[in-house]
Amino acid sequence: MIELSDVHVYYDKEVIKGVNMKVDGEKVLLLGPNGSGKSTLLSAIAGIIPYKGSIRIDGMEVRNVKNYNAVATNLPQAFSIGLPIDDVIEIYDELKGLKINVKVELEKLGIKTNKKIYQLSAGQGVIVRTLIALATDPKVILIDKPFENVDVAKRKIVVNWLKEYGKEGIIVTHEVDIAKQFSDYKAFIILEGKVFGPITVSDLLSSSVVMGEDPSALLTLEINGRKVLLVRGDKGYKMNAIGNLERLYNLVEE
């Protein structure tokens, strides 16, 4: 279980603002526009950056735990050792045990494992980090933007990996379109450092975006101090046609 209680993260200003959320025995999506705090929140959950409040994984406070092997992430900070991919694979296999032949899978995708991750294209780097994280078949996955800069054909492969490996966890993206591949999942939405939800992905994709008040709304969001509602029916803007969540800000301004 991943449980967040009143979590705040500060840089020069407050970036994550009093987040409460729980993920219990399932994988969920965390959707949000660029700059909304998605990666920052995931980094806090992974114990990479300091936070205020409480983040517990399997009942243990993250800031007090080091090297909990049940958790795996593809965040770049976990892969900053500057070694060739072959060596990184070997290290992960020794530390955690890999359930996938990572070298073979990467070579099928045309990725040479004698290179260092930073020598790859952005999309290839994402694929390598995501596959190595998932290859340990961890209990908890914290996967940041696994489809960014990845071409359409390879995205289908990544979707299959995410569905097959890891018992529970969080998958971050800003693309509503990719959520269609996870219609039986739940989703949280992060906007301006605040988290809203959960909502089922199927309800999210079938909802419409309207402004104002509606007690029957599936989910009430807040953007720039204004309430944005996800409601059933065809009034407003269809969520499944938005493409990515940056579009929500444009809708508020219209």
Q: 9-61: per-residue pLDDT in tens?
A: 999 999 999 999 999 999 999 999 999 999 999 999 999 999 999 999 999 99
pLDDT at position 186 is 98
Return the structure tokens found at 102. 């990572």
Residues of the chain with pLDDT under 50: none
What is the pTM assigned to this prediction?
A: 0.94
Residue 71 phi, psi dihedral angles, 5° rounding: -110, 140
pLDDT at position 81 is 79
pLDDT at position 253 is 63
Q: How many C-beta atoms lie closer than 10 Å to residue 162's C-beta?
A: 22
Structural domains in the chain plus CATH codes: 2-253 (3.40.50.300)
* 215 CB burial (10 A radius; 0-12, 13-18, 19+): exposed
Find the angle CA(232)-CA(210)-CA(171) to the nearest 5 degrees: 70
